Structure 1
Amino acid sequence: MTAWLSGTGRRAALHRVSLAIAALLIAGCATSPRAGTGFDAQTEQWRGRLALRVESEPPQSFSAAFALSGNPRAGELTLTSPIGSTLAVMQWQPGEALLRQGEQTRRYDSIDELAQEVTGTPLPVLALFGWLRGEPQSVPGWQSDLSRLPDGRLSARRLMPLPTAELRVVLDR
């Protein structure tokens, strides 16, 4: 997972990458596209805030604002800090995926490969966009709770692989 990271900035870089992946995961659990939520049907864009808690040793917690646009084939995920600084940008299209953090850019053959390289496990990108549209998706190892979608809130819990993780999202209204 961290083969491309080195030096004293390793922990900070890991934190930003974890935020990027967390955003991708949790954004997929967000809500159905309807008036008054953080979804723009014309641009296929979702905006909001996310939080991730990973039950590692020691436990880790992250939060960021996010903007996700596109679809499973081509899109962009941008994470920003509470003061508006860009933490990371993930972009993908058929045959290529990019992870940008500051001046550094990493290239991958696909968003699935990027996600697996960064997290060490495959991520359900197709399911994420289904969830965003309010379509229930079965994803091995994940349980999503769509019961608060009318309020623009969603949570999902990864049970496998360990460590477990809890993701929460609140869409902009």
Structure 2
Amino acid sequence: MGRISLQVQSEPAQSFSASFELKGKPERGELTLISPLGNVLGILRWTPLEATLDSGSQQTQRFSSVDALMAQATGAAIPLGALFAWLQGDNANVSGWSADLSRHSEGRILARRAQPAPQAELRVILDQ
């Protein structure tokens, strides 16, 4: 559990912020995004074969990959495998992304994407 925010330097700029609960592994798991008021914004589920987004108000959306799902749900393709590693304190290398884990012991992670455009900044604060 924690909070996640993503800022994408697109035209127009996009920002996304929510509480989250992450379960599973990079290969198979579930990510629940929760608004500041406590409403479930969406439940993202993935397996090696498909990924789904259940936003409650709409029909469940299906995607061929978790990367496509993350891009749809958050506005940028967050590298989910790397996110799992970063949460464990492992500075996994992902093309175009750089992670700052210097405050990992405080439950804070910062990752920036320089390539491909648009640039993005991901911040994670874990509940202690």
When normalised by structure 1's length, the TM-score is 0.65
Q: Residue 104 of structure 1: SS of its match in structure 2?
A: coil
> 2:24 maps to which residue?
70
Contact 2:8 2:76 in 1 (8 A): no
Q: How many residues matched?
A: 126
Output the CA distance in 2 between the equivalents of 1:165 and 1:121.
Answer: 8
Alignment of 1:80-91 (within 5 A): 80-91=34-45
Change (3 A) 1:77 1:109: same
Structure in which a larger fraction of residues adopt helix = 1
Alignment of 1:1-173 (within 5 A): 47-102=1-56, 103-115=58-70, 118=72, 123-173=78-128
Contact 2:112 2:121 in 1 (8 A): yes
Structure 1: segments with no counterpart, 5+ residues: 1-46
Change (3 A) 1:171 1:106: same
Give the structure, 1 or 2, with the largest relative contact order (CA under 8 Å, sep 6 or more): 1
Change (3 A) 1:122 1:150: closer
Larger C-alpha radius of gyration, 1 or 2?
1
Shift of 1:159: 0.5
Structure 2: segments with no counterpart, 5+ residues: none
Change (3 A) 1:108 1:56: closer
Q: Residue 139 of structure 1: SS of its match in structure 2?
A: coil
| Regions of 4+ moved over 4 Å | 119-123
Structure in which a larger fraction of residues adopt strand = 2
